[in-house]
Every structure is written in C-alpha cells, then in structure tokens.
Structure 1
C-alpha cells in the first residue's frame, strides 16, 4: 500500500491544477482575440509577415493546450492518488514549457519587427535604435535557447520534479532573458515614438501617437510585469512550485497580448477618423490654409486634393509621401515619421 501524499505534494498538485485552469481560460481568451482579428476589416490588408506570426502563434497555442490537457489527464485522472506522479511528471510537461519559450520569443520578435518597421528600417531608424532592436532579438533567441536547454535537461533527469533545483542556472538565464527582452522592446518603442511626436508638426499625428504609445505600454506591461514577477519568485523561492504557475501562464499571455495589439488597430483607426473629422471641422472656421479633403462613400477611405484615395487608417494627411513596404505607414519626403497610424499600432 502506498504512503499518503505529503502536504508539499498535495500543494504541488493543487498549484498544477489551478495553473491548468488558468491556462485554459487564457486559451479561450486567445480564440476570442483570434475571432476578432479574422472579423476585422484590417486583417485582410496584413502582409505575409504579420499573417505568418498569427498562424504560427495559433499552431503553438493549439499544441500548448494539447500538452496541458494531457498533463492534467495523466496526473489527476489516470494516476489519481499515485504519489509518484507528482514528482515524475508526464512527458507532456516539458513540451508545454517549451511552448511557453516559443510563444515568448515569437511575441518579442514580433514587437521588435513592428518597431523596426515603424522606425523606417535601417536607413531611417538610426544606428542606435537598430542596435537596441538587434540586442532585443538576440536576447529573445537566448531566452528560447535557455528554455530548450532546460527542457532537454528535464528529460535527462527523468522528469523528476524534485531534481529541478539542479537546473536553476539555466532557469535564471531563461527567465532573465524574457524580462530583459520585454523591457528593451518597450523602452525602445516609447523613446522612438516620443521622438517622432516631438518632430511632428501635425496635432492630429501627435494625438494618434499618444494613443499608440498608451496602447503599447498597457499591453506590454502585462507580460513584462508577469515575467518580472516570475523571475523574482524564482530568485526568492527557488525550491517551490509557485513559479511554475507563472511560467505556464506566460506563453498564452504573450499570445493574447500580440493578438490584442493587432486588434487594437481597429479602435485606433476609428479614433483616427473621429480626430480627422474634428480637425477638418475646426479648420473650416479658421484662416489657416490646409489641404482639401473630401470624404467619400466608404467610411474607411478619403481623398486628398491631389486625388489620391486610400485607407484612412493607413495614411496621414500629406501630399508628398512615399509608401513603406509594410502597407501601414506613409513617410514625408523629408523622411520624418509624421504618420503613425492604426494599422501599425
């Protein structure tokens, strides 16, 4: 007859179950975000790179929910009451952790690419900005490599949870890399946007940049704060399983934040149109000369005085512009970013 589980083992099983329920909830939220994305009129304008990020994220999240469900089934259904399963976890646990590392790197690289695109690329973004983004991508890659190394080592110790403290050095690199990558991306984005806001001569552009900054900070702080909390818990309580809940939660949370960032473009686009109308209404009572604008039947488009019709959520009011390859930003001929619009929010 097997001995009853210890309080520590019961606590570990309880934390595991609570974490899986949280993961399922985030998975449901992710599919809500995915539905909103596919229903959005902007999604059909997204280029191959954006859609690739979305499709790979879907694949990773489907894999994650399968591994998470298998973990619960193996530990709390098939082996209910078996004490050994608490320490020798199912084969799906390391793979579920691996999806967290992939989701983290995927989201961080997505935001690095967005910042790079908004900056105008290597020729317009500046060496310092591009350098920081390069560092962010390298750190994100290191995060994934450390996550992969952790899970390989975890298999080598027969998935014995009691031996996980022997992998603490790898865990430090894994968790610290996730935190640093988030904060580098966040600080780089805010500094770049504030610089362009300062250089812009358009009040409407300044207002839109403020909205984009707020949206990025609000979404980015969620993952950055949780990743930092995970690192702190690990450093303070390295032998407990509390941090496991945070580690499993990070993956779907990064996926949700990435999709929420894409979906926010619709609201910012609506705000852009409202600001456009207010600006044009106000200008009709003033003496300052402005380019003529004609609102046409499609509420998502407008026409300038030079006869160019385009998506209102994708351009700024300027008759001397060139298209950027991401189909989301138009640059002035003096290479300043006077237009940060909703499609790249």
Structure 2
C-alpha cells in the first residue's frame, strides 16, 4: 500500500489545519483584547467557535494517530473510518452552521431587514447541517468508506453542495446591498469598496475549498477530499473572526471620511446658509452653494451611512475621537 494517495493527504491536511487553528486562536485573543463591549451573544459565539475549533483539531490529531501509528500495519486501513473522522465531520457541520447563520444575519442587516432573504439563507444552512449530521451518523455506524459511498454517499455530496451554494448566496447578497449603499461621497464609497473586498475574499476562500473537496469526493476514490475537508472548518472560523476584528480599522476609516475637509459642504436650506454667513464661515462675497441637494437626498445618505456602521460596529464602544455634529451648530438631518 502506498502512503501517498491514501494517508498522505490526511497528514498534510492535519498539519495545515493545525496551523490554521493557531490563527483562529490568535484572532480570538485579539478579539478578547480589543472588543470589550460587544453583546453577550456575540462574545459567546466567538468563544463557542474557538472551543469547537480546538476540539476539531484534537479529533484530527486522534485520526492521524489511528491511521499513521496505531494501525499502520493494517492492509485495509485506507477503507476504515474511525470515530474521530465522524467527529470532525460533525464539528465542521456545527461550526459551519454557526458562521453561516452569522453571515445570514449580516445580510439581514444590510438588506434593511428583508426577511425573505434571511429565511432562504437559514433554510439552506439548516439543510446543510442536517445532511452533515446524517453523514456523521452513518460514518460512525458503517466504518467503511466503500460502504458509505455506496449507501449514503449522496448525503455527503448534498451537504458539500449546499455549503458551496450558501457561500455564493451570502457573498452575492452582501455585495449587492453594499453596492446599493454607495453614497455621493468618494470617501464613503472607499469604505463600501473595502467591505465588498472583505466579503468577496472570505466567501471565495470557503467556496473554493468546499468546491474542490466536493469534486475530489465525487471523482477520486481516495482520501484527498478529507484533507481539504479538515481545512474547511478553519477557514470558516477565520472568516468569522476576521470580520469581527476588522471593525476597528473600518471605524477609523469611516471617522477619517467624516472629518475629511475635502468632503463637499451640503447646504440644505436658506436658514442654514444665513447661519453660516453670520458665523463667518462664508466670508468671501459672492460665494454660492456649489452642490445643491434636496433635504430628502441628504436624509437618504445619512440613513445609508448609519446602516453600514450598524452592520460592523456590533454595539461596540463608540469612537471617542469623533466630534459631535450638533456641537458645530449644524441642524439635524444635514451635513
């Protein structure tokens, strides 16, 4: 028996997954040190993901030990499914479900709470969870890859397909509603572009890994798919934590955009113009409004900027460096 086509991918996938698990722990430590005022449910979600990731890594190590050390001399080892492999599939299902529900909640937020989109995403995530749990039960029961492929292999295929589909739906929905949130200000558009880049990056990593694992499972009769399946869990956990940890950077970028002196001054009414002239802010004679905008347009821009901030601030501690707009004498609803 050659070790390369059968057991080599398990060892390599285990090593990569262990490295990615260290990244998850680093991101968890960063989150703990920076975000002290997040809601209880969000902090609990972070630590649940971290604990499940550690258990997943532990099960991978147990599986590698069973394959490469304890049963090395067994000529039929490549067809054996230990309980630890079934455990990794179960933990992958749980972590993927939690992370995908979080991203579905983000879609619900940026879509101005359109429940039909959230319901579709939650239904697909639940179906993927059920398929993975059924696969876990049959893996532990049958203990044979050949029997598993023959009897319920389609269930495992369905689970991976639903996971890849959900990645596409979440990424496409987030990109669509973020692009709709673009404003008339180039600085705010830069923030939206950054959010879109994060969305595409996180979604593409998980989708590509899941899709390749699915193709290998369907077309290749060895354990290469399992090595990639180990890494799927870590990529979802890192996508979740990197989204949370990026909020400080995005908040600073948004604060810089709000204090950027190059932003156009919008004068929404004659009364506001007179107030600025009396305060000496329009000292040059003959100066007129260069960018006329209606009050309705200004209110729409304000609503969009608040929506973006709500999605990524997560009730975090407000930035103390931001100036109060009302202290400058600017009426509510206008820049």
Does residue 1:132 correspond to 2:117, yes or no? yes
Give the Cα–Cα distance (whole angstroms) in 2 for the partners of residues 282 and 62 of structure 1. 48
Kindly indicate whether the alpha-carbon contact (under 8 Å) linking 1:202 and 1:338 is maintained by their aligned counterparts in 2.
no
Whichever of the two has the greater Rg, that structure is 2
- Superposed CA deviations along residues 26-71 of structure 1, whole A, max 9, x for unmatched, are 101111111221122xx22321332232122112112111211111
Q: Which residue of 1 aligns with 2:144?
A: 160
Q: How does 1:194-209 map to 2 (within 5 A)?
A: 194-197=179-182, 200-209=183-192
Q: Which residue of 1 aligns with 2:94?
A: 102
Q: CA deviation at 1:89?
A: 3.3
Q: How does 1:1-345 map to 2 (within 5 A)?
A: 6-7=1-2, 11-40=5-34, 43-121=35-113, 125=114, 130-157=115-142, 159-166=143-150, 167-197=152-182, 200-237=183-220, 239-277=221-259, 279=260, 281-282=261-262, 288-289=266-267, 336-339=303-306, 340-341=308-309, 342-343=312-313
Give the Cα–Cα distance (whole angstroms) in 2 for the partners of residues 108 and 85 of structure 1. 34
Which runs of no fewer than 5 residues in structure 1 stay unpaired?
A: 1-5, 293-319, 321-331
What SS is found at the alignment partner of 2:262? helix
Kindly indicate whether the alpha-carbon contact (under 8 Å) linking 1:201 and 1:338 is maintained by their aligned counterparts in 2.
no
Q: CA deviation at 1:174?
A: 0.7
- Output the TM-score relative to the length of structure 2: 0.77
- Superposed CA deviations along residues 206-262 of structure 1, whole A, max 9, x for unmatched, are 33222111111112211112112222233333x232211121211111001111111
Give the Cα–Cα distance (whole angstroms) in 1 for the partners of residues 265 and 38 of structure 2. 39
Which runs of no fewer than 5 residues in structure 2 stay unpaired?
A: 273-294, 315-335
Give the Cα–Cα distance (whole angstroms) in 2 for the partners of residues 333 and 196 of structure 1. 10
Question: How many pairs align?
Answer: 283
Give the Cα–Cα distance (whole angstroms) in 1 for the partners of residues 266 and 134 of structure 2. 63
What SS is found at the alignment partner of 1:337? helix
* Aligned residues: CA RMSD: 2.6
What SS is found at the alignment partner of 1:19? helix
- Output the TM-score relative to the length of structure 1: 0.75
Q: Which residue of 2 aligns with 1:295?
A: none
More strand by share: 1
Kindly indicate whether the alpha-carbon contact (under 8 Å) linking 1:196 and 1:336 is maintained by their aligned counterparts in 2.
no
Higher RCO, 1 or 2 (CA under 8 Å, sep at least 6)? 2
